A and B are shown apart, each in its own frame.
Chain A
Amino acid sequence: MSQRMFKAVLLLLVIAAIATAVAATASATSRGAGAGPIKIGISLSASGDFSDPGKAAKRGYLLWQSVVNSHGGLLGRQVQLKIVDDASSPNQVVTNYQNLITRDHVDLVFGPFSTLLTAPAARIANRYGYAFVEPSGGGPAVFQEKLPNVFFAQPAPVINCGDPFTKFLLSLPKSQRPKTAAYPSLDDPFSSPIADRMRSQFQAAGVKTVYKTIYPPETTDLTPIVEKVASNHPDMVVAGTQSEDAYAQVKAMVQLKFSPKFLFLSNGASSPTEFPDKVGKKNTTGIFSCGDWFPNSNAPGNNQFIAAYLKKYGGNAYGIDSGSAEAYAVGQIIQAVAKKTGSIDNKTIIKTLHSGTWPTVEGNLSWDRYGSPKGSDLLVEWIGGRLVPVYPPSVALHKPVVPKPGWGR
């Protein structure tokens, strides 16, 4: 056989291999059973950037599954979850949902972690007519897609997280309000939009912006920036942050001995155990943050959720990541639809969820046409070394304490 023939054979073998693989797996697709267990497909990030929150979401989903199955399942059928890994990659998440729907023929799908992955996945679900109730895709991109099948399982779109703080501050008498403010924020789809929104609200109310800046995501050293913030002597600092930069900002403020009268960090400071660990417990007093869920919230079913979580996973309530609660809420919503309509058909779910209010551990949820929730998040404050909801008054466990004391008190 000449060399050319050899190459031809090699190439043909490759093609044959592909074809065989295709044929083999094509014939292996199973048809979904009508009366057997309910299969729910989920793509989560077990590796890559989103793996930590991905794991929290997984715990939430699995917890819901065990709780619902122990009470007879959904509409009398046991719930099976098929969870696959997307390695925090948008390419993979799209493949995953396509496979879950067309290969595994799942009955329902639940959302992945993060807006970045939810947005492309929601489109796939929509193309196949599947409802997409999702725990963590709350950024503007998801709602801009204008899809009718999306339902974000949190009380408010992420960029409205700071609204309770703004409302609270502007409810104070003018003499107690800050006169000037600085807005150092992280350049990411959630952090800076939150701060931007708050800035326009404050500016409209007469609070002067003395400095604003957006720093890139990988900035590990925020000392020069905090230095710049401090040099403008603002009464209030409103920072759109994630975790790492929130810790870095606070540490830098402490090091530079700069303590504003009002300090709001959209994320990072909302973490019950990490934040005091990273910045020092004594430094947390008076710092505000916002979030969708906290262990001491009095949302419907929260106590049962925490009890079940601790029974299954151990630890204490303050170690529970809000991602688990969000995922749990997704399950609760589907459960409620099943109870109300007696069906879990995707069309029914989509139609039913667009009206009414639905009680979950995230609060009572309701949505607009494109899946954007119509409620508001919680304002929390660090008081006495604990993270406490302080606003809106209906969910507050303590009155807000202002102004912020100096560091170390």
Chain B
Amino acid sequence: MHLFVQACILGLLTGGVYALMASGLTLAFGIMRVINVAQGALIVLGAFLSYTLFTRFQIDPFVGVFVIAPAMFVLGVCLQLAFLRVLREGEREELSLLVTWAIALGIEGVLSYVYDTTYRSTNTGYANRSWDVGGFLFPEVRVFAFALSIGIIALLYVVLARTRFGRSVRATVQNPVSARLLGVDAARVSAIGFGLSAATAAAAGAVFGIVFSFNPGSHYDLISRLLTIIVLGGLGSLGGAVLAALFMGTAEAVFQVEISPTWSPLTFFVLLIAILLVRPQGLFGVAARGSA
């Protein structure tokens, strides 16, 4: 029983990090109907930047977030303007998948060139400490990571719910045509939305880099999980992504411990297929409007 609870704790903490990573992804889809396969690569890029800030300039990763997030916001906007805006409306969904995959490969290539393929991790002093609460261990780093993730997601939520920009985003997600008729500047919303998504990737990357080891090739494994999470949660739904991430993280950790570590990566995918059989649009997704 102890093992089970400990696994749940670790799983939830990990799930929080996944939630942050997935939030940007689902946001990009909701606003622009773009599957950003490069999100994984952007996260890894964020991890490398955070690592460099830490090892070169001794800036703690949690502080470094405030530097790299704005930088990657700008990068995100540029990527959107350069590569995604030119895609025509009808084929955007399909081509975006491939275009962003190409961007991901490009980022991987640049990172391999600059950093080579040694695995790294941002080893802060507190990286190995953990708190003992009632016999259960809470690794410090993971708790901080969880806190940051939830914090940023909450911030995202506030932006979406309270600001004018947020309202434009929600309108665009619900019905792009009407939104445009009502005066929402779709181009601006898309660019800023993508920038935001890249900024969350930066934060997620900083966190990811502390908890896990990574190299330029790590984005494949990441993106496959993130895509599964957002499909499970429903494409475009932020709340869905968060819940799905927490659920998946916990399920995987429990599975790893109780049943077998070899099969645990499959939990993600098996759960996905199971849910899709019943609800093709995911838990909170909008029912197919000609496409899921």
Q: How far is the CA of A216 from the CA of B213 in the complex (A)?
A: 15
Asked if residues A223 and B212 are in contact (CB atoms below 8 Å), the reply is no
Asked if residues A214 and B261 are in contact (CB atoms below 8 Å), the reply is yes
Q: Does B83 contact A (CB under 8 A)?
A: no
Q: How far is the CA of A8 from the CA of B103 in the complex (A)?
A: 36
Q: Is the interface of B mostly helix, strand, loop or mixed?
A: helix
Which of A187, A221, A280 has a CB less than 8 Å from the CB of B128?
A: A280
CB-CB < 8 A to B128: which residues of A? Answer: 251, 254-255, 280
CB-CB < 8 A to A187: which residues of B? Answer: 262
Q: Smallest CB–CB gap between B105 and chain A, Å?
A: 12
Asked if residues B118 and A221 are in contact (CB atoms below 8 Å), the reply is no
Asked if residues A49 and B213 are in contact (CB atoms below 8 Å), the reply is no
Asked if residues A55 and B260 are in contact (CB atoms below 8 Å), the reply is no
Q: How far is the CA of A47 from the CA of B217 in the complex (A)?
A: 11
* Chain A CB within 10 A, most for which of B3, B7, B139, B213: B213
A52 touching B261 in the complex, CB below 8 Å, given contacts A224-B256, A248-B213: no
Asked if residues A221 and B14 are in contact (CB atoms below 8 Å), the reply is yes
CB-CB < 8 A to B214: which residues of A? Answer: 220
Q: A205-255: which residues lie under 8 A (CB-CB) from chain B?
A: 213-216, 218-221, 223-225, 227-228, 231, 243-244, 247-248, 251, 254-255
A228 touching B213 in the complex, CB below 8 Å, given contacts A51-B112, A52-B117, A243-B119: no
CB-CB < 8 A to B116: which residues of A? Answer: 51-52, 55
Q: Smallest CB–CB gap between A271 and chain B, Å?
A: 10
Which of B10, B130, B213 has a CB less than 8 Å from the CB of A220?
A: B213
CB-CB < 8 A to B7: which residues of A? Answer: 224, 227
CB-CB < 8 A to A257: which residues of B? Answer: 137
Q: B233-277: which residues lie under 8 A (CB-CB) from chain A?
A: 253, 256-257, 260-262, 264-265
Q: Does B159 contact A (CB under 8 A)?
A: no
Asked if residues A278 and B265 are in contact (CB atoms below 8 Å), the reply is no
CB-CB < 8 A to A141: which residues of B? Answer: none
Closest to B220 in A: A218
Q: Does A402 contact B (CB under 8 A)?
A: no
CB-CB < 8 A to A52: which residues of B? Answer: 116-118
A47 touching B112 in the complex, CB below 8 Å, given contacts A220-B213, A231-B3, A251-B127: yes
Asked if residues A278 and B211 are in contact (CB atoms below 8 Å), the reply is no
A227 touching B139 in the complex, CB below 8 Å, given contacts A216-B261, A216-B265, A218-B221: no
Q: Smallest CB–CB gap between A75 and chain B, Å?
A: 37
1/0 per residue, CB under 8 A from B, across A252-265: the answer is 00111100000000
For the A-B complex with A220-B221, A227-B10 known, give 7 more contacts whose Cβ atoms are closer than 8 Å.
Answer: A52-B116, A52-B118, A216-B265, A224-B257, A227-B6, A227-B257, A255-B130
| 20 A–B pairs (Cβ distance < 8 Å), ordered by A | A51-B112, A52-B116, A218-B265, A220-B212, A220-B213, A220-B221, A221-B253, A223-B10, A224-B10, A224-B256, A227-B7, A228-B3, A244-B119, A247-B121, A248-B213, A251-B128, A254-B128, A255-B128, A256-B130, A256-B137
Chain B: residues with CB nearer than 8 A to chain A?
2-3, 6-7, 10-11, 14, 112, 116-119, 121, 123, 127-130, 137, 139, 211-214, 217-218, 221, 253, 256-257, 260-262, 264-265
| Smallest CB-CB A-B distances: 6 pairs | A220-B212, A215-B261, A224-B257, A224-B256, A218-B221, A244-B119
